[in-house]
Amino acid sequence: MQLTTTPTGARPTATFWMSHAWLGTHVEPGVALVVADGRIAGIRTGVDAPPPGATVLRGLTVPGLANTHSHAFHRALRSTVQVGSGTFWTWRELMYQVASRLTPDTYYDLARAVYAEMALAGITAVGEFHYLHHAPGGAPYTNPNAMGEALIAAAGAAGIRITLLDTAYLAAGFGQRAGQYREPDQHQLRFSDTTADAWAERASLLKGSDHALIGAAVHSVRAVPAGQLATVAKWAEERQAPLHVHLSEQTAENDACQAAHGCSPTRLLADHGVLGPRTTGIHNTHLSSEDIALLGVSATGTCMCPTTERDLADGIGPAVALQRAGSPLSLGSDSHAVIDLFEEARAMELNERLRTRTRGHWTAAALLRAATVDGHAALGRSDAGTLEPGALADFTTVALDSVRTAGPVPRLAAEAVVFAASAADVRHTVVAGRHIVRDGQHTLVEDVPAALASAIAVLHG
């Protein structure tokens, strides 16, 4: 029996007994975990039976999953965008139609349901890439951050943590001449603060909380003029906040950037001070060897979103080469074609197998790391994603007796979960020591499917 503690001085508030726990390198049977003040205060291994009064978690308990990249309102597109064919750009037109119907109240209702769906999938923190700032037509709300605050409140109501990545989105794309950018179209007016300085002024009014951090994002090099990129980077630097950016998701973006600036989007971001260890590039799909080297040497992260990238036919990014170059990997569900971080994790490996026709690029342990500790770090939470004293008491338990996971010996539970489990196998989700999902049921949102159906129906009405 081993006891590991941290001298927090706080009184224990809860004890959880885990039949099996993932401790970063291996599956450990019989683990008792003590929570105090929302953090892990102690861990005991070799505990064969639940201590008196402990909450029992049967299955494999892993650190809470981090959904590094989300657009909550895209959840309303599920199935609608599966009709017929099309491209990323035709998909975008349908997305704009849904965006045009959202208000702070309807966005709160939708996001609360979406974040509850995430909790049911074992996700304890989300990075919300938020650019839907203003009313249709671009007029600010009386509260200029009404939409962002609705998202923060929705995450709180659903019981998960959020990093609100307030996004600068100022232009419709590159213009005909070098240095020229097109004005936002009618759909994009509500995204734009007109200038990076105006964006920074509004974003500075946002306040974090116990469950919410405030970060920044550059929507893309086509949506923020090159001369204004440094303003966004400086805002994040001054606050030591995470900074995210959609990067080289489409070859059309690369071609347009090359024509406008004579360089790749990655080089443009590097030249304007956007890259660095607090920055995460979303997708990083169509990169040159020089781009990969720039991201690696700057320790800029990479968030892969395989279910969205395949849904939109975007392509398979060079995740192996990026990681080898020094870019930490994380995972996101992005457009929410599905919300399942286990599917994102294994898809990264399986996509690479299809691309290279070889197996074994990442172990289950490495994929779990991308889904947990490195994902949380990308969201500004270096104290999350592990089951060890001092870490946030955020964890999730996956059944080992479902039709997908039954059979493997316990020491292979991580492989069973990563390569076979689905979000439907999540039995418990705990955030700050609080039971948010218990026995597969959300404890704060009574009927998550009904909440989703109601919120989405309003937008398609």
What are the start-end ranges of the H helices in 326-403? 341-356, 364-371, 373-378
Q: Name the amino acid, one letter, at 201.
A: E
Indicate the pairing of strand 14-22 with strand 55-63.
parallel
Helix (H, G, I), strand (E, B) or coil at 441: strand
| Cβ contact 167:206 at 8 Å | no
User: Among this protein's residues, is 283 annotated catalytic?
Assistant: yes
Query: Of these residues, 334, 340, 394, 425, which one is catalytic?
Result: 334
**Would you give the DSSP letter of residue 137?**
T
From residue 459, how far is each of 58, 60, 110, 140, 454 by CA, in Å? 39, 38, 9, 21, 9
**Closest by CA position to 349, among listed 336, 334, 362, 330:** 362
| Neighbour count for residue 454 (Cβ, 10 Å) | 13
Helix (H, G, I), strand (E, B) or coil at 245: strand
CA separation for the pair 37, 22 (Å, rounded): 22
Helix, strand, coil % in the chain, rounded to nearest 5 = 40, 25, 40
Query: Of these residues, 130, 283, 376, 428, which one is catalytic?
Result: 283
CA separation for the pair 285, 237 (Å, rounded): 26
**Closest by CA position to 68, among listed 387, 314, 288, 381:** 381
CA separation for the pair 103, 168 (Å, rounded): 19
User: Among this protein's residues, is 439 annotated catalytic?
Assistant: no
14 contact partners, CB below 8 Å, separation of at least 6: 34, 35, 55, 433
Burial class (CB in 10 A: 0-12, 13-18, 19+), 13: middle
Q: Name the amino acid, one letter, at 375.
A: G
> What are residue 327's phi and psi, to 5 degrees?
-95, 115
| Cβ contact 336:312 at 8 Å | no
CA separation for the pair 212, 95 (Å, rounded): 26
Would you please indicate which residues are annotated as catalytic (active-site) residues?
A: 283, 334
